[in-house]
Amino acid sequence: MIQFRKFALSKIGRIAPRYLPFADVATEDLPLSRLLRLALFQVTVGMALVLLVGTLNRVMIVELNVPASLVGIMISLPLVFAPFRALIGFRSDIHKSALGWRRVPYIWKGTMLQFGGFAIMPFALLVLSGYGEAVDAPAWIGLSSAALAFLLVGAGVHMVQTVGLALATDLVPVEDQPKVVGLMYVMLLLGMIVSAIVFGALLTDYTPGRLIQVVQAAAVITIALNILALWKQEPRDRTRANSIAPVPEFREAWGVFVTGRNAIRLLIVIGLGTMGFGMADVLLEPYGGHVLDMTVAQTTRLTAVLAVGGLAGFALASRVLLRGADPIHVAFWGAVVGVPAFGAIVLAAPFHSVAGFVLGTLFAGFGAGLFGHGTLTATMRNAPREQIGLALGAWGAVQATAAGIAVALGGVMRDLIVAMPGSDAFAAEAPYVPVFALEIVFLALALLVAYPLLRRLAGPEQRAHYVSTETTDLAAKSVP
Amino acid sequence: MSDPDKIWPTGLTEREAEEVHSYLIDGTRVFGVIALIAHLLVAVSTPWLG
């Protein structure tokens, strides 16, 4: 009996930790399989984005007959949380937990928010559309619950992506960061493409029951993939868990973050470039259809062309960055490629050249890939080791806000020009050309702002100097 | 095994175990509220009582 007890004890003692979500040690080299597993959180982010912006957008307008303006407002609600990414990232930097974790608790909370939002979303949408007995219910129930669902999912997505990227940056050595950035972008794209196809196929025969099944399946897949992504990834840090050093305030940490390292300039470049590349996203397909008389099948393939261009951009950026290229240079050349690409798209109308338009789209995607990869890698590389969450939060805040504003601005500009009195007399391309021209302007501005960065961050020893002064500065501030 | 703070069988200290437990409690509360809202919304569109 005693023998058995001893045997059981030793067995359980050895097995139990295997079933706990802790990383054994902070291993020096991170196998690619573990990185791929971590990148699964980007798949759930992509899935949430497609569901909100693509699938539910259509279902709400076409099947549920919700007014388009209300749908637009609901879908843009998550954007409210985008600026808070910097704060979330900062909180995860200074998070103190007995377990010695700082990223996992936030990714877990974000996952729960995403799950909760998806869990109530289908019912909220059905009530919003006045399904069944909900016709007689007061309107505020549907409105507030749908808004709550979108806000929960949006907050969850921002949280998971910000802190997930910070965790990935924590785990890999500096020279491997380009690989991680490429992987993260590819997984996001993969999640979006696969879920768009799957959701589209599942919702072709729409029924309310099917809507509930699809959205709640997305909720379960989100939580499953995120647990899989998190499992045994973050090493526990006992010294951090037991440290009693006072933590800096957000304002203070931000002040340290923005001084010296051109952080603000880089953020402006990210904002301008993202606006420049993002405005046309929703206008390329109608432009091809209205102006160049492309068929629906052809315009749908445009999205694929844009994605292929983006993938090529990520691949090239990863390659040259791993060989030691400067990320700012890569981003700069991405914006440089974008200018003639949008020029080709504009010129496609007078020449009525579908080939020129498709080629322009391909290179716009390629430039966006280079630009996105370069700026994110630059953000990771410039971030002081204990401000990674804040740096990536600031990146995400600027990037998500700029992308949201860009899409809205592009759509509003097009609609305003269409609604102008006497707009029938305009050429078919009139509503689109100003948007594409504005994108070129934004890219040119981004290039202008980025130009000084090219020279200032030229030497690696100079960059190392910046980082080291910042870290000592922060350390000096956090010690009383 | 030499650390007296550690709790069998996971090897967590008491403080760590309490933190794990707090995630469980928070999770239960959040999911409880979410389930409540979901049930209310279903009741509004397809009432199953009365």
Contact yes or no for B44 and A137 at CB 8 A:
yes
Average pLDDT of the residues in A53-63: 83
Tell me the pLDDT of chain A averaged across its residues. Answer: 84
* Dist. CA A159–CA A86, nearest whole Å: 10
Please report the pLDDT score of residue A176 as a whole number: 82
Lowest-confidence pick of A5-14, A260-269, A458-467, B31-40: A458-467
- Partners of B12 in the β-ladder: B7
What is the nearest CA distance from B4 to chain A, expressed in angstroms?
Answer: 15
Nearest alpha carbon to residue A360 among A414, A295, A439, A418:
A439
Please report the pLDDT score of residue A204 as a whole number: 84
Q: Which tens digits make up the pLDDT trace of A376-419?
A: 999 988 888 888 889 999 999 999 999 888 888 888 888 888 88
Q: Which tens digits make up the pLDDT trace of A74-115?
A: 888 888 889 999 999 998 888 888 777 888 889 999 999 999
Tokens of B22: 């707090």
Q: Residue ranges of the domains in chain A?
A: 36-234, 249-469
Kindly state the percentage of chain A with pLDDT values over 90.
34
Contact yes or no for A134 and B20 at CB 8 A:
no
**pLDDT surpasses 50 at A474:** no
A263 φ, ψ to 5°? Answer: -60, -45
Task: Specify the fold of A36-234.
Answer: Growth Hormone; Chain: A; (1.20.1250)
Of A238-247, A333-342, A452-461, give the range with the top mean pLDDT. A333-342
Residue A37 CA neighbour count, 13 Å, CB half = 15
More confident residue, A461 or B30: B30
Residues belonging to chain A with any Cβ–Cβ distance to chain B shorter than 8 Å: 9, 12-13, 16-17, 20, 97-99, 105, 108, 112, 115-116, 119-120, 123-124, 126-127, 131-134, 137, 141, 145, 148
Contact yes or no for B45 and A131 at CB 8 A:
yes
Q: Taking CB atoms and an 8 Å cutoff, what residues of chain A touch B16?
A: 98-99
**pLDDT surpasses 70 at B25:** yes
Average pLDDT of the residues in A131-146: 87
**pLDDT surpasses 90 at A300:** no
Please report the pLDDT score of residue A480 as a whole number: 36
CATH architecture for residues A249-469: Up-down Bundle (1.20)
Contact yes or no for B34 and A16 at CB 8 A:
no
Interface test with B, best of A99, A104, A126 (most B CBs within 10 A): A99
ipTM: 0.86
> What confidence tier does A268 reach under pLDDT thresholds 50, 70, 90?
very high
Domains A36-234 and A249-469 share a fold: yes
**pLDDT surpasses 70 at A19:** no
**pLDDT surpasses 50 at A22:** yes
* Dist. CA A111–CA B30, nearest whole Å: 12
Q: Which tens digits make up the pLDDT trace of A181-197?
A: 888 888 898 898 889 88
- What does each C-alpha distance from B34 to A12, A16, A119, A208, A300 come to in angstroms? 35, 31, 7, 20, 37
Average pLDDT of the residues in A328-352: 91
Q: Taking CB atoms and an 8 Å cutoff, what residues of chain B touch A120?
A: 34, 37-38, 41
Interface test with A, best of B41, B42, B49 (most A CBs within 10 A): B41
Nearest by CB to B37, from A97, A120, A137: name it: A120
